[in-house]
Amino acid sequence: MREGRAIERGYLGVSIQPVNADLADSLGVPRNRGEFVQSVVEGEAAATAGIRPGDVVLSVNRREITPEQTLSFLVANIEPGTRVPVELIRNGERRTVNVTVGRRPSDEELRQSQMFAPGEDESGEATPAAPGMSEGIQQKLGLGVIPVTAEIARQLGIAADTRGLAIAAVDPNSDAARKGLQRRDVILSANYREIATAAELEAVVSEAERANRDAVLLRVQRRGSPAAYVAVRLR
């Protein structure tokens, strides 16, 4: 804590890996120096500064990146909002870009930001449920769901103010899977009641069970398609 406030850590928004022997030889760069950028988070500090996948970052704020001083370590110790030079290699050429360091998201924000990362498998196979998903919904509907945040909405390509539950996991043996529900779909309502939390969906499921109904009617939004109603049987 600093003056009663939590210490904020710096953040670039990149997925990186060390420059091992194979990477070094393929790129023609020194071994064990710098780190290789696998992906860049849209809208974060690195992307805003023009850092791209395939770049090799050599130093941050004139401090070399080594196995002992990693990129993550160096950036985390820079105060968010600070503008620093970042030296990198791109297509064999050295260049320097100036980056305004961002604030490292909380662990929960990071988990959500990676929930629907670009390039993921969208085959519909079951995905391990993340911590915090409702066990009741998983048991009754075979779905792992999380509330739609502005970040998740951005990843899904839907309006930032969308209210609903994003499907993050589907049991392939569930009726939901048989009806075609997939990861990245968004549940907007259940039995004509708008929902934004797992608790609200659980309440609808409980009411359906008390009324001896064997299914719930979900209104589901999929990117690029109009919202549609799907009746999903309870288990």
Q: What are the pLDDT digits (tens) for 40-84?
A: 877 889 999 999 999 999 999 999 998 888 998 999 999 999 999
The pLDDT tens digits for 146-192 are: 899 887 887 788 888 899 999 988 888 899 999 999 988 999 999 99
Over residues 200-224, the mean pLDDT reads 92
Q: How many domains does the chain have?
A: 2
| Cα dihedral across residues 9, 12, 17, 23: positive or negative | negative
172 inside domain: yes
Range of the domain at 45: 10-103
3 — pLDDT class (breaks 50, 70, 90): low
For residues 37 and 125, membership in a common domain is answered with no
The pLDDT tens digits for 7-20 are: 788 999 888 888 88
Give the domain CATH number at 99.
2.30.42.10
Structure tokens at 233: 């049987």
- Look at residues 184, 183, 193, 182 and name the one whose alpha carbon lies nearest to residue 218: 193
For residues 80 and 127, membership in a common domain is answered with no
- Look at residues 36, 44, 48, 41 and name the one whose alpha carbon lies nearest to residue 90: 36
- Cα–Cα dist 17/21, whole Å: 12
For residues 141 and 226, membership in a common domain is answered with yes
Residue 108 buriedness (CB in 10 A; 0-12 / 13-18 / 19+): exposed
